[in-house]
Structure 1
Amino acid sequence: MANYTAAPEDDYDVFIEDDLSNNEIEPCTPYDPKILSAQLVPYLYTMVFIAGLLDNIVVVLILVKYKGLKQVENIYFLNLAVSNLCFLLILPFWAYTASREGVLGDPLCKILVALYSIGLYSEAFFTVLLTGQRYQEFFRVRRLFSACRVVAGSILTSALAWVTAILLTLPELAFYKPQMESQKYKCFFTKPHFLPVDETFWKHFLALKMNILGFLLPLFVFVFCYVRMRKTLKFRERNYDLFKLVFTIMAVFLLMWGPYNIALFLSAFNEHFSLHGCESSYNLNRGVQITQIIAVTHCCINPLLYVFLNKPFRKHLCQLCHLLNGTVPQPTEETAQGTSREEYRLST
């Protein structure tokens, strides 16, 4: 299992025998993640934190002030922004530990692990809920309850998603704790003494848990819903922008987190794929670190998708900018008609 608070830093004592007759052994040089971490991670994570914090807060303001929380998709969008904010909170600490090569105490280690897991699982769950909600709207699934009960149901579903994400984080809290290395604390995977079976089994368990719930579940929902909807030859014109936005959010999530999950799976089960050699271990450790860095930057991508793919969001963003500047835009007749049509579509 890859380290949640830093790139994998396991040392592998692997040797390659070049000439058996001469018994010459060439030492294997392990991959050193500190080089890339010190050069790239502090600056990249700092920029992602600042950009992600600003644009996700803007999303929350627009949803609360302008769009309102009377539609199911807006409730899920709000929770998705909150999950991104949870994930963003760990980036300044990761940037600091990368520059200082790890200075994490016991409470901070577990807090960062918890925020990482909760942010990842909650984001996966809310993308699944958004996709499922758009699937129901597309096929006009008959609602048995009123609009108020549907909204109340979405709030209850959101609460269950958060509770599930928190419960899924409990194993990580039990396994990860700080250890002293080179006179500095670092957050490492360690099996508690009270648990049966060996440490390898639990590493496999945590890797499978993340792969199944954080990647395969959203992938299955995305493929199932998209294939069923494409069989109708074309999307219905009604709310096409919203359909495109939701499925783009899911596709980007899968594209950015997919490589990391694959690299993590291969690293955890390397002995089953004959990838425990020197060169294979080096490439796997490097791949896990690089794909994790790419995946982490995803927490600031969703607000950009809202801007590019959703016209009502762009309109509300302009209104928010005018409000912050102290000016009030004068709506035209076309804008007013467009707003009324959009409100009607959302209400229905």
Structure 2
Amino acid sequence: MYSIICLIGLAGNGLVLLRYLYFKRLKTGTDYYMLNLAIADIVFLLTLPFWAVSTGYKWVFGNEICQVIYCLYKMSFISGMFLLMGVSIERYFAIVEAPSAHRHRSKTVLISKLSSVCIWVLAFTLSIPEMINSEVRNLNGKDTCIIISRDLQSLDAKLKIIQMVLGFLLPFIIMSFCYSMIIRTLLNARNFEKYKAIKVIIAIVIVFVVFQLPYNCVTLMKTISNTTVCTNSINLDLADDVTYSLACLRCCLNPFLYAIIGVKFRNDMCKFFKDLGCLSQEKFSQWSTAKPSKRSSFAMDTETTTTYSP
């Protein structure tokens, strides 16, 4: 599972990076957030081969690499959450507060660049508990890289709870508020593009909740649990494995979401493969979408600012 997710995810997110750099699409704040999200997903995916070797054989990379891998995994996970939050905030101002956003459009890109740097710094800070508490231990005759469990009263456990509140719960609440306000605004707009935009937003929220929320709930349960019952411990470990695989799978799904719901992303990929000679003119005309004609400014704003690939 780790190997398949890693290969597919690297290929898909590599195309996302290629699209932004090859076609020079870094023009809006959302573009910079989505570029950094692809980088976060790639960093996350690069940790999976280490877990694959550890699962199939044993941990052979030493204690220092164990700490680094746990740190990178958590840092990429948290930065992804904050980057999605940044996208939702920018889309909120672009749609709900459209007049104000239009006046400050020139500052949007600068703000997104600075906030992206701050997000990576904050994500690294919040990943320090993983780095401190991870080490290689021999379990049942097999070297394993694990997080050392602490009791709830310890400072490390409290830091992990703060990590989950700031790294997941806060972005989740802000995203829910922003997207609910966006949906309400679009429902009140009199143009046929609103239904397409709402479908995009619903897809984003569903994927986010289905693949991320279970893992964070299990992680919270493991953090606050101080059970000594073997059956409960095994059930928590099993739930952690299943929900972690779902969280990993999200990194693979992001590029497919862009291809399915992002018209410009799909067109750019078709043009790229056509430039490489891998796509005939006939297939290019069949798979790409004609550039939409100009409609009202709000309709165009709705169509471009609520997709992942504006």
Normalization by structure 1: what TM-score? Answer: 0.74
- 1:314 partnered with 2:272: no
CA contact (8 A) 1:109 1:187 kept: yes
- 1:260 partnered with 2:215: yes
CA contact (8 A) 2:59 2:144 kept: yes
Offset from partner CA, 1:260-300 (integer Å, 9 cap, x none): 111222222235xxx65444333222212221122122111
Cα 1:257–1:203 change in 2 (3 A) is farther
CA contact (8 A) 1:104 1:187 kept: no
Measure the CA separation in 2 of the matches of 1:64 and 1:242. Answer: 26
- 1:127 partnered with 2:64: no
- 1:59 partnered with 2:16: yes
Q: State which of 298, 302, 311 in structure 1 corresponds to 2:250.
A: 298
Measure the CA separation in 2 of the matches of 1:242 and 1:308. Answer: 13
Measure the CA separation in 2 of the matches of 1:235 and 1:276. Answer: 54
CA contact (8 A) 2:3 2:48 kept: yes
State the percentage of identical aligned residues.
Answer: 28
Question: Which has the larger helix fraction?
Answer: 2
Unaligned runs of 5+ in 1: 1-43, 192-196
Q: Which residue matches 1:224? A: 177
Measure the CA separation in 2 of the matches of 1:327 and 1:303. Answer: 20
CA contact (8 A) 1:124 1:218 kept: yes
CA RMSD after TM alignment:
3.2
* CA-CA distance at 1:199 after TM superposition: 7.3
Q: Which residue matches 2:63? A: 106
What amino acid sits opposite 2:267 in the alignment?
K
Normalization by structure 2: what TM-score? Answer: 0.82
- 1:338 partnered with 2:292: yes
Q: Which residue matches 1:11? A: none
CA contact (8 A) 1:103 1:185 kept: yes
Q: Which residue matches 2:237? A: 285
Unaligned runs of 5+ in 2: none
Q: Give aligned pairs, total.
A: 295
Q: State which of 66, 70, 92 in structure 1 corresponds to 2:27.
A: 70
Measure the CA separation in 2 of the matches of 1:246 and 1:73. Answer: 14
CA contact (8 A) 1:179 1:187 kept: yes
* CA-CA distance at 1:210 after TM superposition: 4.0
Measure the CA separation in 1 of the matches of 2:86 and 2:198. Answer: 13
CA contact (8 A) 1:134 1:243 kept: no
1:240-251 to structure 2, matched below 5 A, reads 244-245=199-200, 248-251=203-206
Q: Which residue matches 2:125? A: 167
CA contact (8 A) 2:59 2:136 kept: no
* CA-CA distance at 1:243 after TM superposition: 6.2
When Rg is computed on C-alpha atoms for both structures, the one with the higher figure is: 1
Q: Which residue matches 1:269? A: 224
130-139 or 215-224, larger mean C-alpha shift: 215-224
What amino acid sits opposite 1:176 in the alignment?
S
